[in-house]
């Protein structure tokens, strides 16, 4: 079995003393830092840097032929992407200051404790990882191209903002930091989370938990699990979802609904990377990546004191906002045939042809339930349809009901009187005329649709239109 090396880049130890090289390699290997190489001749270092993926250099200062300070100057100038830690036999503050000025990341004395050196190396590794991640992310975002366009095939869209989201999802897919996905209900947040998991190339699966409505104890039990006897009724130990996710992804949906007590638990989990199963005093490490989603406005919840500020900042390191369907109307003509084919396949029917008016009707609607709503409208229509051409009736019925529901919401907010704010009232005939004109505009001139929006029959609308020659 081949063991993977850590970190992804090589750490080169340079010193003319073989005993020191061996000792430091061993110390680092014991701390899990295995991707190391050694070099006894400082004159070879520049060639090695030109040919290998070195990210960090551990450099002695006193070496024959090419001294450490000279080499440090050369590397800092020609390979600014490589971090350098100086490990010197000399405990002189002036030398340390000079080295830092020349570009060293850190300075250690050879007699210092092993632990301090290991911690310094870990710090430099993390910094390198962060820089590499940022570089990769900007390269990909700037090039605008996707490395794995096939991963996004489930997400049907031609919208530019969605393509920008794809590039971002790809860029941060391998980051260990959490990913926050916001957007109205039904816009496709879970779909984005699934693609992100797939692109992360993680060895475990994707485990989804909807945290809305979970009280704090159930939240902790669901995520952390419990040991046998942890509480009355805990006859068996239970693995939590974190363990289920293993080295995969833990997707927490509806994070905006989390109670403050559970927010504290989630914050600790993210900060410390550790958790305690209920009833256990032995901490476990989380290996999964966390993705969270919400349809709520977290910034507003934070401002209202309903969402913890520290958790909010932790979660928003990588964030995506998926726009609602009404802001990408160009996607409707792509989504309709996609869902028609899907529905026909799932319902074992022939794929119906959508009537032309369907697109006008859909374009006039705001889709508060977004793509999920469009999908279910199409599934409904296909399930009742018999003719070759799809009937508009189910759509008109669905949109009519939803439009009434929307109107009720609006009238609730405005106190139910559209005219109260007006100084001068329009005449009845002016109001009717404007209402009809607005409905016809929203329905792109389709009388059947406009009549549904107005709550009258099509012949009644037609009569009014011809009467007023609107
Ligand atoms: N661009 C898209 N292409 C194809 N199907 C989509 C697209 N966006 C969403 N869907 C489908 O719409 C439905 C809703 O998507 P999803 O569950 O991802 O939304 P959500 O934003 O997570 O919703 P909620 O906030 O209610 O959890 C799913 O069946 C999903 O497959």
Q: What is the pLDDT of residues 154-168, one digit of tens each?
A: 999 989 899 989 999
**Nearest of 151, 142, 156, 119 to residue 335 by alpha carbon:** 156
User: Which tokens is 214 given?
Assistant: 């979970």
Of all protein residues, the one whose alpha carbon is nearest to atom 24 of ligand 1 is 185
CB of 185 shorter than 6 A to ligand 1: yes
pLDDT band at 429 (very low <50, low <70, confident <90, very high): confident
233 within 8 A of 277, measured Cβ to Cβ: no
On whether the CB atoms of residues 373 and 367 are closer than 8 A, the answer is yes
Q: What are the residue boundaries of the structural domains of the chain, listed by start?
A: 10-138, 147-323, 327-468
Q: What is the pLDDT of residues 375-386, one digit of tens each?
A: 999 999 999 888
Mean pLDDT for the stretch of residues 36-62: 95
Tokens of 243: 């363990």
**Tokens linked to 12:** 């080169």
Q: Which CATH class is domain 10-138?
A: alpha beta
Confidence of residue 387 (pLDDT cuts 50, 70, 90): confident
Q: Is 100 helix (H, G, I), strand (E, B) or coil?
A: helix
Q: What is the pLDDT of residue 144?
A: 66
Nearest Cα neighbor of 107 from 87, 124, 89 is 87
Architecture of domain 327-468: Orthogonal Bundle (1.10)
Single pTM value for the model: 0.65
CB atoms within 10 A of CB 214: 19
Q: Is the pLDDT of residue 324 over 90?
A: yes
Ligand 1: residue of 185, 371, 378 to mutate (most ligand atoms within 8 A of CB) is 371
| Distance separating alpha carbons of residues 458 and 411, to the nearest angstrom | 25
CATH number for the segment(s) 147-323: 3.40.50.300
Q: How far apart are CA 434 and CA 186, in angstroms?
A: 33
- 210 Cα: distance to centroid of ligand 1 (angstroms): 15
**How does the average pLDDT of the chain come out, rounded?**
88
Give the other-Cβ count within 10 Å of 162's Cβ.
19
On the question of a common fold for 10-138 and 147-323, the answer reads: yes
What Å distances lie between residue 297 and 44, 254, 306, 366, CA to CA? Answer: 56, 11, 11, 20
295 CB near ligand 1 (under 6 Å): yes
- From 155, 157, 188, 254, give the residue whose CB has the most ligand 1 atoms within 8 Å, as the site to mutate: 188
Bond into 7 cis (ω within 30): yes
The reply to whether ligand 1 has any atom less than 6 angstroms from the CB of 375 is: yes
Predicted confidence at residue 3, as pLDDT, reads 59
The Cα–Cα gap between 440 and 103 comes to 69
pLDDT band per the 50, 70, 90 thresholds, residue 189: very high
Cβ(42)–Cβ(14) below 8 Å: yes
Exposure class string for 268-305: b at 16+ Cβ within 10 A, else e = ebbeeeebbbbeeeeebebbbbbbbbbbbebeebbeee
């Amino acid at each position: 079995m081949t063991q993977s090396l850590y970190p992804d880049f090589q750490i080169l130890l340079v010193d003319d003393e073989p005993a020191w090289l061996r000792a430091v390699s061993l110390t680092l290997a014991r701390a899990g830092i295995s991707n190391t190489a050694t070099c006894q001749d400082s004159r070879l270092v520049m060639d090695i840097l030109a040919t290998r993926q070195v990210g960090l250099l551990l450099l002695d200062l006193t070496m024959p032929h090419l001294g450490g300070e000279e080499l440090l100057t050369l590397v800092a100038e020609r390979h600014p992407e490589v971090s350098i830690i100086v490990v010197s036999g000399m405990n002189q503050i002036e030398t340390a200051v000079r080295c830092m000025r020349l570009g060293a990341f850190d300075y250690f004395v050879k007699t210092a404790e092993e632990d301090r050196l290991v911690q310094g190396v870990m710090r430099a590794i993390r910094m390198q990882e962060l820089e590499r991640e940022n570089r990769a992310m900007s390269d990909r975002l700037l090039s605008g191209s996707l490395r794995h366009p096939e991963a996004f095939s489930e997400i049907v869209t031609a919208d530019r903002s969605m393509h920008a989201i794809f590039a971002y999802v790809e860029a941060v897919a391998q980051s260990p930091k959490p990913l926050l996905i916001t957007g109205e209900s039904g816009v496709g947040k879970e779909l984005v989370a699934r693609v992100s998991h797939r692109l992360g190339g993680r060895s475990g699966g994707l485990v989804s938990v909807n945290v809305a409505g979970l009280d704090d104890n159930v939240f902790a039990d669901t995520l952390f699990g419990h040991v046998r006897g942890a509480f009355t009724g805990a006859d068996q130990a239970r693995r939590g979802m974190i363990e289920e996710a293993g080295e995969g992804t833990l997707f927490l949906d509806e994070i905006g609904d989390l109670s403050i007590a559970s927010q504290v638990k989630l914050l600790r989990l993210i900060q410390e990377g550790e958790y305690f199963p209920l009833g256990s005093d032995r901490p476990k490490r989380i290996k999964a990546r966390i993705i969270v989603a919400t349809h709520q406005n977290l910034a507003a919840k934070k401002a209202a004191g309903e969402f913890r500020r520290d958790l909010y900042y932790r979660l928003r390191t990588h964030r995506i906002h998926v726009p609602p369907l009404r802001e990408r109307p160009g996607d409707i003509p792509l989504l309709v045939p996609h869902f028609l084919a899907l529905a026909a396949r799932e319902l074992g029917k022939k794929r119906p042809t959508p009537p032309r008016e369907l697109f006008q009707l859909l374009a006039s609607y705001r889709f508060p339930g977004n793509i999920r709503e469009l999908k279910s409208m199409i599934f409904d229509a296909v399930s009742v349809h018999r003719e070759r051409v799809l009937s508009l009736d189910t759509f008109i019925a669905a949109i009519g009901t939803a439009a009434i529901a929307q109107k009720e919401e609006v009238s609730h907010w405005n106190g139910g009187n559209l005219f109260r704010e007006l100084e001068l009232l329009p005449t009845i005939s002016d109001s009717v005329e404007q209402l009809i004109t607005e409905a016809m505009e929203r329905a792109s001139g389709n009388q059947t649709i406009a009549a549904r929006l107005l709550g009258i029959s099509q012949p009644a609308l037609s009569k009014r239109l011809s009467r007023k020659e609107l």
